[in-house]
Amino acid sequence: MKDKNPNRLTAYGFLVFFLGLKLILSFVLVNSVYELQRDEFLHLDQANHLAAGFTSVPPLTSLFSWLIKAFGNGVFVVKLVPAIIGAITILYCWKIVGFLKGNLLAKCLVAVACICSSLLRLNTLYQPNSFDVLAWTAIFYYLLRYFDQKEAKYLYAFAVFVALGFLNKYNVLFLIIGLLPAIIITPNRKIFTDKHLYLSILLVVLIISPNVIWQIDNHFPVLKHMKLLRATQLVHVNRFDFFIGQFLFFISSIFILLAGIGSLIFYKDFRKYSWIILTYIITLIIFSYFKAKDYYALGLYPVLLAFGAVYLSRVLVKKHILSALLFAFNIGTFIYLLPLLMPVYSPAQIIAHHKRFERVGALRWEDGKNHELPQDYADMQGWKELAAIVDIAYGKVKDKSAVLIRADNYGQAGAVNYYSKYKNINAVSYNADYLYWFKMDKPIKDLILIEWAGDEDPQRKSEQPLFDKITKIGELKNPYAREKGAAVFLLEGAKKEVTGIIKSEIKEEKNDY
């Protein structure tokens, strides 16, 4: 039966428009000079090694990668997946506004707030972060519905997204830790008397159990990964910058965000939703304590934007000029800040506007130092060039079944596997998941090495006694690439002991990791 309600039809039309706009902008606001990002190659390669767990991320991303591979593994499909996830996030924000009895103005406000924010940039990268934000938003939505209607189906939907969030990124555990005290100290603690809560917890356990068992069998590599992360990246995180970042992510939507936070604290009609603002505060404190990266908390914000949009729509009812000014500020500020939020500038343009990027901390890398380009952008340069050099070396190998391609890091290995013209080239590394993907079932005759620019043995003197011939094939010349200067060597005629040495190194690296 057709829906004859014109208002509902108009709302559906606007929703379709915003979802379509979200997808389109995810493509057109990325300069074609940029290639895939370092982490994306690792995630895509996981499709070739499906398992219940990985050292870098939980297994859900590998299933997305398997689907991407099934649809051709092209860049368009790679980019389409996070864009669709971002669009679904907007859909859940729309549903939260609908739950709060928000009007069309509120729905449009939250859609624009999500699009004109750092979430747009997040959804251009094929990483677990996009689904992380979606899972958090869905978790808030289904809890809102459950606390309002006490229907068990919402608890089970909540449980499914907790489980999927866990299988996507363990980051969701911080949200659960923040939720527990927030619910306990509010009247919503009655949830603990509902038997369906415990059945839903059982559902979560069942869904995540393969990954938990994998972690146990592999001696909890997630703990080792977190230790390495703290030592190499989180050590450079400044807590003050963490809190500043929370507002910079949504600077274009700042009025909607502040309205969301303020209304949950002071607005009488939203008082029964106080558990949301408590969860927000507690989770931020936990993240700050552990010196987490600022974007880890992005999943907290769509629900706040939804509340802010509803509150402002009530304040601005029939105040059309003020409503128009709010949209103008949101969209206008986003356009002004667009080069800082999205990779629309080429590397040369970024360097030309160096001061503008430096002022907002966009040039600070994980090492705590400023560089010419934002780290993500430098990580999207030079990969095709590197893969082409490796292909030259690989083409010179006579017995391709007995050659090992060993990269210095997972980005190099993944980029070679993705961009190489040779199928099943299987570049590996002692880094991240690649450490477990070596194929050592037969003796190695030749070795292709990819070494970083700062390597202490550029002449490969340490390998000379182990091979008949060593040739430098080339090095990465792209001046904007993070891997600039990475060199490719072809080591031919391996001695018998080479295979044993590499196996020993693999074992040692696994023990250290």
pLDDT digits (tens, 9 = 90+) for 90-137: 999 999 999 999 999 999 999 999 999 999 999 999 999 999 999 999
Give me the residue label for tokens 């009655």: 190
pLDDT of residue 310 exceeding 60, the answer is yes
For position 1, what pLDDT does the model report? 41
Could you tell me what percent of the chain has a pLDDT over 70? 96
- Stated as kind and residue range, the H or E segment containing 499 is helix 497-512
pLDDT for 228 equals 67
Whose CA is closest to 436, among 229, 163, 213, 217? 217
CA distance 183 to 190: 9
> Quick one: pLDDT at residue 233?
58
Q: Which of the pair, 63 or 9, is modelled with greater confidence?
A: 63
**230, pLDDT greater than 80:** no
Is residue 224 very low, low, confident or very high in pLDDT (cuts 50, 70, 90)? Answer: confident
Taking the C-alpha atoms of residue 388 and residue 419, their distance in angstroms, rounded to an integer, is 8
Please, are residues 415 and 424 in contact by the beta-carbon 8 Å criterion?
A: no
| Top-confidence residue, 223 or 245 | 245
Confidence of residue 242 (pLDDT cuts 50, 70, 90): confident
Tell the residue number behind the tokens 């090694």, with chain if given.
49
Residue 88 has pLDDT above 60, yes or no: yes
Mean pLDDT of the 39-64 span: 95
In our burial notation (b when 16+ CB lie closer than 10 A, e otherwise), range 130-141 reads: bbbbbbbbbbbb
How large a percentage of the chain has pLDDT more than 90?
81
What is residue 103's predicted lDDT score, i.e. its pLDDT? 94
Confidence class for position 190, pLDDT limits 50, 70, 90: very high
Ranges of H-type helices in 123-194: 128-149, 152-168, 172-184
Q: What is the mean pLDDT of the chain?
A: 93
Does pLDDT of 453 surpass 80? no
Choose between 379 and 244: higher pLDDT: 379
What whole-number distance in Å separates Cα of residue 486 and Cα of residue 58? 30
**Which pLDDT score is estimated for 498?**
93
Strands 446-451, 403-407: parallel, antiparallel or unpaired by DSSP? parallel
Element (H, E) at 18: helix 6-28
Residue 219: which pLDDT band, with cuts at 50, 70 and 90?
A: confident
Confidence of residue 292 (pLDDT cuts 50, 70, 90): confident
Q: Which uninterrupted H or E stretch holds 493?
A: strand 487-494
Work out the average pLDDT over 239-256: 89
Q: Which of 187-191, 193-197, 209-213, 361-365 has the lowest mean pLDDT?
A: 361-365
- The pTM for the full model equals 0.93
| Res. 167: pLDDT tops 80 | yes
The answer to which of 215-219, 373-377, 463-467 has the lowest mean pLDDT is 215-219
Average pLDDT of the segment spanning 446-471: 89
Question: pLDDT tier at 179 (50, 70, 90 boundaries)?
Answer: very high
pLDDT value, residue 328: 96
pLDDT of the residue at 234: 57
